[in-house]
Amino acid sequence: MPKVLRADNMNKCLGCFTCMLTCAAVNHNNHNLAKSSIKVKTRGGLQSKFAATICVACKEPACAEACPTNALVKRPGGGVKLIEEKCIACEKCVSACIVGSIHMDYDRKIPIVCRHCGACVRMCPHNCLSMEEVSE
């Protein structure tokens, strides 16, 4: 059964950015927070909680529909998979994403898209993230 990333316990988040660093390292061989598909930020103010912007694994992903070269294809359970060779870096997927979770890697000229691999979940020291089994 496919799994998708969830950020249901962000009230426990301390903003250590371990999830972001892990994502960037595992998926992009880079330790730059900008290369992470999960974005953790404060909700505003010095004493507020943190929020995570993640792919919500749409069943009918607008990002894939917007892609003129079919570089983004639906993955089982929701969300998309990137086929790098097909991407022309047009950025239409970025503007089409309903939650703003896709952004460009301008060095590699490809969008940074969550693979729902769970690496961030395994490394989060406070169990803020989880992988949820979903039907296809």
**Alpha-carbon separation of residue 70 from 75, 119, 136 (angstroms):** 13, 26, 20
Binning pLDDT at 50, 70 and 90, where does residue 136 land?
Answer: confident
Give the pLDDT mean for 105-129.
Answer: 97
Q: Could you tell me the pTM of the whole model? A: 0.92
**Residue found under tokens 């022309």:** 88
Q: Does the pLDDT at position 92 exceed 90?
A: yes
What sign for the dihedral angle of Cα 16, 96, 132, 6?
Answer: positive
Which token pair is 12? Answer: 């426990």
pLDDT tens across 37-73, in order? 999 999 887 778 999 999 999 999 999 999 999 999 9
Q: What is the pLDDT of residue 48?
A: 82
Cβ atoms of 70 and 92 closer than 8 Å: no
Q: Which residues pair with 42 in a beta bridge?
A: 50
3-state secondary structure of 23: helix
